[in-house]
Amino acid sequence: MPENQKPQIQKQQTANFLNSLVVLGKQHRITSILLILGLLLTFMLALYSGPPSEETIIENALAGTVTIKNDIALGSGVIISTDDTSSWILTNRHVVDPNNDGSGAPHQIVEMSDGRTYYPSYILIPPYDDIDLAYVVIVKVNVPAVIIDYDYKPTTGEQVVAVGSPLGLENSVTTGVVSAVRYVTAQTGYKTEVIQTSAAINHGNSGGGLFSLKTGNLLGINSFGPPEDLKSQGIGFAYSLQLLASLPKTNWRSLDLNAPSACRVDWDEVGLTNADGSSIGMEKIEAGTCSQYGPVWCNPSTRKLEERADLCGCPAGYKASGTDCIANDQGGNTVGNALFDETITLESDSIWYYGGDSPSLSSTETLHYTVSSNLQVSIDVVPSKDDFRKALQGSDFRAYSACTASNVYSYDKFCTLDKNGGIMITNDNTASATIHVVVKTS
């Protein structure tokens, strides 16, 4: 090769080498960029994996739904938030305040989906009586709150699931669609968004959640179905969360968690009217007392009236037979006031009724004793006043063992009593016991 060509060949080789390096560098840059883009795409997919599955949505909805029980009603609720000390449950007011009068209901209990139970710390109702929502606050529980997006608008045809305890069947789900979104105006002027759904909503679903199966969002609180006389399948309604968002956050009222002090009685339903035939209407009867209208008693544990002849006596022409009133011509002869048929108040002491006080009592009679008390009492039928004095002195005394009862609320026995005998009732409590005693011949 001529010497003069060597420099040119070397230059060409150098240029080719440099071009190769440039091409290789470009390829590496592209590879690096592609690698970085791939990593970013993987990271973004990890952050956003798409909407949750229906199974996940239902599982989360069940976990955030509770059952609310009391002596009058059973319903549901949804955990919507938790702070450092408390968990807040949204429900219907009619679940925790069935009479809608602010008196609430006795023995409120919140039961979690896993069976744990809690007593409410307090219950709040809105400042307006026509808003059927309430908060139940319990101690903080380790349960995630449900997803709420106040800006989300449910659409007609969107698939939903209603969660609650229909007819007492706890942790139940029913599916359907959003049939329509309607608007009603409350008496207070609030324009309320109501979600109509084909998901079945029955008694016990009240207060539970209506969830979107598309996003998992809580859309509303299951509240009511059609009237009973218009009952139809596939029609239920839930108050949209827009109602909760529009309500003022202050001036909510606290319910009294103690047992109520009165029963609300609709005398028209009981069948009682005034003497002129006019309606007596609604009345509050103090718990534990008898009604002026007859032998009925307000039971504070149920807030309902019960016929209790042993507590309230009987109207004219009737006599007590246990807890019932029967006509005077039924059964045996009533001793009545000749011995005793009355309500007494006993406070940490004893009461003695003596057969000799009854001129109608023969030397020996079999009597039917009926005793009822609001506190535990001890009851003994004893042969004589001397036995009664021994009992008060704490010494031995002779009692009819078949007619003895200790620490009872009620007593119903047939006992043989001679003219010198009587019945002794003792209350070991410091509080006053109100006792009704009826004695009649067998």
Indicate which residues carry an active-site annotation: 94, 132, 206
* HEC secondary structure over the chain: CCHHHHHHHHHHHHHHHHHHHHHHHHHHHHHHHHHHHHHHHHHHHHHCCCCCCHHHHHHHHHHCEEEEECCCCEEEEEEEEECCCEEEEEECHHHHCCCCCCCCCCCCEEECCCCCEECCCEEEECCCCCCCCEEEEEECCCCCCCCCCCCCCCCCCCEEEEEECHHHCCCEEEEEEEEEEEEEECCCCCEEEEEEECCCCCCCCCCCEEEECCCCCEEEEEEECCCHHHCCCCCEEEEEHHHHHHCCCCCCEECCCCCCCEEEEEHHHHCCECCCCCECCEEEEECCCECCCCCEEEECCCCEEEECHHHHCCCCCEEEECCEEEECCCCCCCCHHHCCEEEEEEECCEEEEEHHHCCCCCCEEEEEEEEEEEEEEEEEEECCHHHHHHHHCCCCCCCCHHHCEEEEEEEEEEEEEECCCEEEEECCCCCEEEEEEEEEEC
CA–centroid distance for 174 within its chain = 22
